[in-house]
Structure 1
Amino acid sequence: MKGSTIEGGVVVSRRRKGVARGLSIMDFILRIVAAVGTFSAAVAMGTTNETLPFATQFVRFRAEFDDLPSFVFFVVANSIVCGYLVLSLILSLFHIVKSNAVKSRILLIVLDTIMLGLAIAAASAASSIVYIAHYGNPKPNWFAICQQYNSFCERISGSLIGSYVAAAILLILIIFSALAISRT
């Protein structure tokens, strides 16, 4: 009886390590996907501009991302989150090798939570401007500009998708790290 209990304990221990290693591998992959999402969101927003001719060839209307501080914040915040995600790949690789590391996982949970907050703040700020660009607001006489600046609006809307996907992945990463800690 005692031999089977010890053997059963060893099997359970190996299973827990296998689950923790699987979570670590998934953590690494998700960090890469989130980094690509924040990078593409920052690049798409940062390179967005459109020029429309007016009555003459010399008078033109131009829409650029840096005309609005919310969009500048969006680009900077997504760049910071992307940089963090790339740097955190080192710890993620460490967790694949040593799946029972707890202190570094706690550090990742704290930093991931901070980056999640930054990513959500940036995406939310940009979302409000994108909403007004699409629909306007008649009370203060803010007109929708997306009927004229189609390309500009498509790019800024698309960049929001990458940022929100990265924020969702950061939330999943926090949950994975907490699960991995509970398995050790």
Structure 2
Amino acid sequence: MTSESATATVIQMDDGRAPVVAAPAPAQALGAAPRKTTTGLPFLLRSGAKGFRCCLAVVDLLLRLAALGTTLAAAISTGTADERLSVFTTTFQFHARFDDFPAFTSLLVANAVAAGYLVLSLPFSVVGIVRPSKAATGVGLLLLLVCDVVVMALLTASGAAAAAIVYVAHSGNRRANWVPICMQFHGFCQRTSGSVVATFLAVLIFVVLVLMAACAIRRRPS
């Protein structure tokens, strides 16, 4: 910006009055860079890296609470899967219980372990919201990422095994002469099917948590 463009402009008047001095042009009109405004950004993102970490911690806390709810629901649904079917008389009954199937037992244990881990991991998200500067960084984030991956793999394995049993219970297998027991044990199949669905919902949430942890490690300043 030159000195000539910044000087005021003098306008001569023909009626003998004093000359009128025009105000200098605004800085933006003289070629200066416009000021950046952050009014369009969310409040948590206006403070740069600190706001980004705080926003990430809020989302992380919400996702962990959602995963805690789904894993608890899956564990409770599996543990209460118990149904008796009376045939002709009350003394002759068929009994279906979750611990009769090792796959459902492992599903219950996996969801209980995941729920306990999620409870223990909640303070990391709370600290990231209250004091972003004291949040887990470096080794702490890497350890949390590894634990998330391990729990996600545990839920995936147990959910896949239980899903196979649920499929056989619903559809049976003609070649092996396995009849679909869900035609009689409706309540048992509803609970076990619901627990499998809740388990895979928790797996999807853990996938998002793993991606977020990887993103936080990637953005961590060296």
- Tell me whether the two structures share a fold, i.e. TM-score over 0.5: yes
Partner of 1:84: 117
What is the aligned counterpart of 1:133 among 158, 169, 183? 169
Which structure is larger by alpha-carbon Rg, 1 or 2?
A: 2
1:57 match: secondary structure:
strand
Partner of 2:191: 155
The answer as to 2:66 corresponding to 1:25 is: no
Q: How does 1:77-116 map to 2 (within 5 A)?
A: 77-96=110-129, 97=131, 98-99=134-135, 101-116=137-152
Tell me, in whole angstroms, the C-alpha distance in 1 between the residues paired with 2:136 and 2:124. Answer: 13
List structure 1 segments (4+ residues) > 6 angstroms apart after TM superposition.
Answer: none
Note the residue ranges of structure 2 that are not aligned, 5 or more in a row. 1-34, 37-44
**In the TM superposition, what is the alpha-carbon distance from 1:13 to its structure 2 partner?**
9.5
Please tell me the residue identity of whatever aligns with 1:19: F
- How has the CA–CA distance of structure 1 residues 153 and 29 changed in structure 2, closer, same or farther, with 3 Å as cutoff? same
The answer as to 2:95 corresponding to 1:62 is: yes
TM-score, length of structure 2 as denominator length: 0.75
Identity across matched positions, percent: 39
Tell me, in whole angstroms, the C-alpha distance in 1 between the residues paired with 2:54 and 2:213. Answer: 11
The answer as to 2:40 corresponding to 1:40 is: no
Please tell me the residue identity of whatever aligns with 1:149: F
1:156 match: secondary structure:
helix
1:140 match: secondary structure:
coil
The answer as to 2:172 corresponding to 1:172 is: no
TM-score, length of structure 1 as denominator length: 0.89
Tell me, in whole angstroms, the C-alpha distance in 1 between the residues paired with 2:142 and 2:77. Answer: 33
- Measured against aligned partners, the alpha-carbon deviations of 1:51-100 in whole angstroms (never above 9, x if no partner) come to 11112221011111111010000001110011001101122223332347
Tell me, in whole angstroms, the C-alpha distance in 1 between the residues paired with 2:159 and 2:128. Answer: 30
Aligned residues: 177
2:157 match: secondary structure:
helix
The answer as to 2:219 corresponding to 1:183 is: yes
Larger RCO (CA within 8 A; separation ≥ 6): 1
Could you tell me whether the CA contact under 8 Å between 1:70 and 1:125 is conserved in 2? yes
Taking only aligned residues, the RMSD between alpha carbons, in angstroms, comes to: 2.2
Partner of 2:19: none
Tell me, in whole angstroms, the C-alpha distance in 2 between the residues paired with 1:85 and 1:165. Answer: 15
Note the residue ranges of structure 1 that are not aligned, 5 or more in a row. 1-6
